[in-house]
Structure 1
Amino acid sequence: MMKFKSLTLRIWFIISVIIFTIVFIISLAFTFIIKHNDEDKATHSLHLTHQLVLNSLTQNQFNKEIIGFVNHQGTYHFVFDKQNKQITFITGNEKKSDNPLMIKMGDLITNNDHQSLKETINDQPYLIEISHITDQSFLISYLPLDNKQNLLQVIMIGILVILLSLPLSKVIANNIAKPLKQLEGYTKRIANKEWDHDLDLKSEDEIGRLAKAMKEMKDALKLADEEEKKFLQSISHDLKTPVMVIMSYAQAIIDGMYEDSAEESASIIKNEAVRLEKKIKQVLYLNTLDYVLDNDKEREDVYLDKLLTYLIANFQAVNPDLSWILNIESKPAVLLGNPDRIRVSIENILENQLRYAQNIIQVSLKDSGSSWMIEIRNDGPLISEKDLNQIFKSLYKGDKGNFGLGLSISHKIVNFYHGNIKVENRNGQVCFTICYPKK
C-alpha cells in the first residue's frame, strides 16, 4: 500500500483511484452495451439485405437499385455452389482475394434450411446468413464485426476523462487539506505559547468544529499559563518573605547585632520556619492532589456527623473565645471516600472561618435528599462580589488570607467525590455550603 507524507497527495491519489475505477467500470459497461447494440443493428441489416437479395434472385428482379442499397449497408453476398465449390459474385463489393474466406463459409452449410450464424474465421468474427436457392446453390451473406474501433473510442474517452479529472482532483485535495494545514500552523503557535494569533476558519463542518475546539483549548491553556505564572510569582513572594526574615535574624544572632534577646530572635526564626513549612506542605499537597485522588482506590465509610463533632471540638480548643454552634439534624450521615481527604476539605473551610469570625461560627449538617449538606457560617465581614467569584482559585487570597491554597484544595476534593461547594453572603453572614453524595 502506497504511503504519502503529504495529506494533499494522499487525498489526490485516493480521488484519482476512485475516478479511474469509476471510469473503468463505466467503460466496460458502455463497451458491452455498444457491442450488443452494434451487433443487433448488424444482425438486422444483414437479415434485411439477405432477404432482399434472396427475393430478387428467386424472382429475377435483381437490378442496380438493389445493388446500390446492399452496397450502402456494407454487407457482402455471393452464391456458392456446394458441389463444385464455385463462387458467383453478386453485388460487386466482394473481392476475389476473399475466396478462401468464402469457401470456409460455404463449408458451414449443413442443410437446405435457412442458417443464421456467428462464426470467427481467421480471428475475425462474422455474422453469416445462408439460404437455399437451388439443389446445390446457396446464397451466403456475411458482415464482419468490428468492435475494436468502438472499444478504442471508449478507451480514448476514458483516458480523456481521467486526464481531465487529475487536475480537478488536485484542486479538491488542496481545498480539503488547506484548513488542515492552517490547523497545523495554529497548533504549532499554541505549542510555542503564541496566544495572540487567532484562527480564521468559519466553516460549520467537522473541520470548523475542530477549529472551534482548538480555540477553546488555546483559551484554556492560556488561562492555565497565566495562572501558573501567578502561582510562581505568589509562591516566590510568599517563600521569599519568611526566608528573608529567618536569614536576617540568624545573621543578627551571628553578628551579635540584635536588639531583642537571643531567645526572642530564635522564637521569631522558629515561627517563620513553621509558617514556611506549612506553606511548602500545602503547595506540595495541592500539586500532588490530582494524582493522589486518581490513584486512591480505597474507599470506606466516612461518618460526617462524627467527623464534624471531632473537628469542632478541636477548633474550639484553638479559639475558645468564639461561640461554636453545631447542629446535626440527621445521623448517621455516611458517605463513601477517603477519610483523610474528606477531613481536609472541611478543615480548610473551618480554618478560613476561624480567621474572619468575630463572635460566632455555626455548623449544621442536613439531609438534602441524595446528598448530605454541610453549612458553615460566621458573623465576620461579608465577602465582596469579586472575591465570591474567585475565592476557590489557587493562590487567591482575601484581606486576611493566609496562603490562598486551602479553599482551592477543598474545592478539588469536593469535586472529585462528585459533590459541590459554594460560598455566599446570606442574612448578613458568610455561608459556605458543601454537599457530598450519600453512600
Structure 2
Amino acid sequence: MIKWTLTQRVWVSFILLILILGVLIAIIYPFSIQQALKNDSYNLIEEEQLHDVLQQPDPYSLPKSNKSFVERQQASRSVGNLLIVNGQGELEGDPVPNKVLHQMAKEADSQKKTLGRYELNYNGATLFYVIRKLQDDNDNSIYLISYMWDTYRNQMAKELWNRLLIVLILAAVLSLMVAAWFAHHLKKPLKVLGSRFEEIASLNWKKPFEWKSGDEFERLSLQFEKMRRNLLRYDESQKTFLQQASHELKTPIMVIQSYAQSVKDGIYPQGTLDDTIDVIINEADQMEHRVKKLLYFTRIDSLREERPDIETVSFGELAEQVKKRLLTQKPSIEIEIKGKNTLFHVDKEQWLIVLENLLENALRYADTKIWLIAEEKDSETRLLVKNDGEPIPEEQMEGLFQPFKKGKKGQFGLGLAIVQRIVERHGGHIHAENDKDGVSFAITIPTQQTESK
C-alpha cells in the first residue's frame, strides 16, 4: 500500500479532479456542441426561408445564385434555395446535382408535415436542408427547399473547442495553484498541532493549545485544549491521590516501626508488653483497612467504563447483612430499617459496600439513632441513610465526596468517594443534606436496569 503525505494527497486529488473533468468534457462536449450547432444551422435555414424568400414579391420565382453547389460548401452560413413542383424536379433556384435533387424530391414527396428537417452526406460532407410545403393558386404542391453545408457547424465547433481547451489549461493551472495554497494551509496548523502533541507525549502539557482561525482547525484546537486540561486535572488528581495515600499510610507505619523497635530494645511505651503489642496490632489493622480502601477506590475508578454485574436484590437482605456486620462498633446506636421489601437492580457486592460505607460514616456521627430507608417512586428507587448527629458545616458540603476529604471524625476520606463512584456506575446520583433532626445521604438510581446474564 502506497503511503502518501498530506501534500501528495492534495496534489493527487486536484490532478484527478482535473483529469476527470477533462475526460467528461471530452466525451460529452463534442456531442452536445455538435447537436447545438446542428439545431442552430436548421434555425438559420428556416430563418432564411421566412425572411429572405417567402417575403419576396414573388416567392415562386427564385433568382439563381452565382455560387455553384460545391462552391457554397466553402462559404460559411451560405444558404441555397430551390423549388420543386409536385415532385417533378427543379423549378427555380440554385442548381444541385441530380443525385441530391432526387433525394430531396423523394423526401418532399413523402413529407406529410408542413416543415421537415433532413440531412445527407455528399462527398464526405454533410448537407442540412429544410423542406417547406407550399400551395399555389392551382393547388399544386410546391416545396421550398433551403440547404446549407456543415461548414459553419464545423468551424464553430473547432473554434469553441480551441477556446474550451484554453479555458481548461487555465483552470488546471489555477487549480494547481489552489492545491499548492491548500496544502500549505493544511500543513501549517497540523505542524503546529503536531508539535504540541509531541510535547504532550513527553508529559509537558502546561502550554495551552491556541489556534485562532475561525475554522475547523480552531475547533480541533479547542477540543485538544479541553483534552489537555482534563489530562492536567487527572495528573494533578493522581499526584494528590499518591500524596494523600502515602500520608495515610505513613502514620501507622511509623507507629509500628517505633513500637517494634521499642519492644526490641526492651522498652514498652504502653506499660506492658501485651499493651504495646496491642497497639502494633491495632495500627496494622488500621493500615490493612486503609490499604483495602485505597485498592477498592482505584479498582472502582478503573472499572468506570464497564457495566456493573446487575441482579435483583431486596433492600432488607442488604441492610440486615450490613447492620449485623457493623452493629458491634457502636452498640448503643439504634439502627432502624424501613422498606425491606423494596427491590434494587444493582451489583450486589458493590451495593453492600455502599451501605457499609454510609452506615460506617453514620455510626461515627450519630447520637442515638440511624435510619436506613428504601422506597420506589415512579421510575426511580431511592435509598436514604440518616443519622441524628450534628449537621455538616456548609463549607464542607462542596468537597464531601472528594477523595481524602475528611470530617472531624473521619478516618481515611475515601468512603464517600467510593460510594459516589459506585452510584454513578449504576446511573444514579447521591447528595447530602442537613435536616432539622440530623444529616441524611440520599441516593437515587433508575428502577429498571438490564440484569447481567
Q: Normalising to structure 2: TM-score of the pair?
A: 0.70
The reply on whether 1:354 has 2:353 as its aligned counterpart is no
Show the counterpart of 1:308. Answer: 319
Contact 1:419 1:436 survives alignment (8 Å): yes
1:40 is displaced (CA, Å) by 6.5
Within a 5 Å distance, the mapping from 1:9-408 to structure 2 comes to 9-26=8-25, 28-36=27-35, 62=66, 73=76, 109=99, 117-119=120-122, 121=124, 125=125, 145=154, 150-176=160-186, 178-201=188-211, 207-259=217-269, 260-290=271-301, 298-321=309-332, 323-328=333-338, 330-408=339-417
Any idea what the Cα deviations from partners look like across 1:21-46, whole Å, max 9, x if unmatched? 2354346544445445556677869x
Gaps of 5+ in 1: 53-57, 78-104, 130-139
The reply on whether 1:417 has 2:423 as its aligned counterpart is no
Any idea what the Cα deviations from partners look like across 1:2-33, whole Å, max 9, x if unmatched? 65232x43234324422442354346544445
Q: What amino acid is aligned across from residue 294 of structure 2 in structure 1? A: V
Structure-1 separation of matches of 2:321 and 2:40: 105
Cα RMSD after superposing both structures: 4.2
Any idea what the Cα deviations from partners look like across 1:185-216, whole Å, max 9, x if unmatched? 44444443433322334567655544433333
Q: Specify whether residues 32 and 398 from structure 1 end up closer, same or farther in structure 2 by C-alpha distance, changes over 3 A only.
A: same
Contact 2:307 2:425 survives alignment (8 Å): no
1:427 is displaced (CA, Å) by 1.9
Q: What amino acid is aligned across from residue 261 of structure 1 in structure 2? A: T
Show the counterpart of 2:134. Answer: none
Contact 1:30 1:154 survives alignment (8 Å): no
Structure-2 separation of matches of 1:423 and 1:183: 44
Structure-2 separation of matches of 1:296 and 1:365: 23
> Secondary structure in 2 aligned to 1:422?
strand
Gaps of 5+ in 2: 54-61, 81-95, 106-118, 130-146, 449-453
1:398 is displaced (CA, Å) by 2.6
Contact 2:376 2:447 survives alignment (8 Å): no
Show the counterpart of 2:5. Answer: 5
1:236 is displaced (CA, Å) by 1.3
**Alignment equivalent of 1:435, drawn from 417, 427, 444:** 444
Any idea what the Cα deviations from partners look like across 1:218-261, whole Å, max 9, x if unmatched? 22222111110000111111222222221222222223344443
Q: Normalising to structure 1: TM-score of the pair?
A: 0.72
Q: Specify whether residues 40 and 305 from structure 1 end up closer, same or farther in structure 2 by C-alpha distance, changes over 3 A only.
A: closer
Contact 1:27 1:154 survives alignment (8 Å): no
Structure-2 separation of matches of 1:168 and 1:61: 57
> Secondary structure in 2 aligned to 1:256?
coil
> Secondary structure in 2 aligned to 1:317?
helix
Structure-1 separation of matches of 2:74 and 2:216: 66
Structure-2 separation of matches of 1:333 and 1:72: 103
Of 282-291 and 32-41, more deviation after overlay is shown by 32-41
Structure-2 separation of matches of 1:284 and 1:337: 21
> Secondary structure in 2 aligned to 1:199?
coil
Structure-2 separation of matches of 1:315 and 1:141: 112
> Secondary structure in 2 aligned to 1:390?
coil
Contact 2:335 2:369 survives alignment (8 Å): yes
Structure-2 separation of matches of 1:293 and 1:397: 24
1:344 is displaced (CA, Å) by 0.8
1:300 is displaced (CA, Å) by 3.1
Structure-2 separation of matches of 1:60 and 1:17: 57
